[in-house]
Amino acid sequence: MALTPSTMLPLGTPAPDFFLPDTDGTTVRRSDFASRSLLVMFLCNHCPYVKHIRRHLAATCREYQQRGLAVVAINANDAVAYPDDSPEKMAEEGRAAGYTFPYLYDESQQVAGAYQAACTPDFFLFDREHRLVYRGQYDDSRPDNDRPVTGADLRRAMDAVLTSQPAPTEQKPSAGCNIKWKPGNEPAYLGGPAPTVSSVPAIEARLHDLARLLRESDSIALPLRRTLAELVDELGKALRSAAVPPAEVARLAETTTHLAESLHRRHDRDRVGTVRERFEQAVVNAEVQHPLVAGLARRLLDTLASIGI
């Protein structure tokens, strides 16, 4: 067990998207909590630092959920190497601990990377616009000290965000077990390898053509048609400006192309929804390495959500 501190993601950072399965099989998205303050926690089943606070944390989250706070927990541990953190065990842990929030499994570990999560537990609190206002510890209690578990640090921050007050300026890093990364998955911010790169000029050209087709399409209402075309065009330009973007951005470009093609051809809703899901996952993958491009892609996702796609 390696004691690992939080990376302390910069305050004001937009909440990275996620699109992950809950223990009951349903899929949970960040966009499900639009216009609500949101607490994202990275937990796991076997870590003694999580076990130390789990029942108190469950009660605290119930209290703040009743006050309107959205809460999700994410387990990103390698379940092959650590079977106690498998989705099946997560369901058992959620019931045993009394969790009333979604407990999501990040099998690819890409969401953990997007949040620059490092340890369990790791806490990220976002305001109603999903901008980071607090990251840090639950409280000063640890398994090896005699301080009581109170949740004081996180509670102060949650009280502030729910009353539209500034979060505490003093924010101490959380500490716990390191996230159990799969071989080769340890992110660059923790000393892992830099991502591989590839170029996307051909894909950018296809996006340009598709933006033109969307403008000419008669299957979508004119104002929305223009908005979608402009977003696809803007995203294409952003991709082009990154001469050698990360591989994640290349995949984002590809899925953008597929999504735009589906919109233009107006496939049945299930088909468009499937393409949208692939696009949304690609946005998550691109979040860390190219936040500008991912931000533009999120605008496209929000526009699609406004028309039920």
**Is the confidence at residue 206, as pLDDT, over 60?**
no
Q: Which residue, 230, 232, 279, is CA-closest to 252?
A: 279
pLDDT band at 31 (very low <50, low <70, confident <90, very high): confident
Q: What is the pLDDT of residue 307?
A: 58
Per-residue pLDDT reduced to its tens digit, 46-86: 999 999 999 999 999 999 999 999 999 999 999 999 999 99
pLDDT at 262 over 80: no
Return the closest-CA partner of residue 257 out of 197, 196, 305, 201: 201
**What local confidence, expressed as pLDDT, does residue 243 receive?**
44
User: Which of 17-26, 106-115, 261-270 is predicted with the least confidence, judged by mean pLDDT?
Assistant: 261-270
Q: Are the C-beta atoms of 49 and 176 separated by less than 8 Å?
A: yes
The edge-to-edge listing of strands for the beta sheet with 3-5 is 3-5, 175-178, 119-120
| Residue-wise pLDDT tens digits, 220-230 | 677 777 777 77
User: What domains can you pick out in the chain, each with its CATH number?
Assistant: 3-190 (3.40.30.10), 201-306 (no CATH)
The greatest distance separating any two alpha carbons of the chain, rounded to the nearest whole angstrom, comes to: 68
Q: Considering the entire predicted model, what is its pTM?
A: 0.68
Give start and end residues of each alpha helix (H) in 67-183. 87-97, 110-114, 152-162
- pLDDT at 197 (0 to 100): 39
pLDDT tens per residue, range 133-155: 999 999 999 999 999 999 999 99
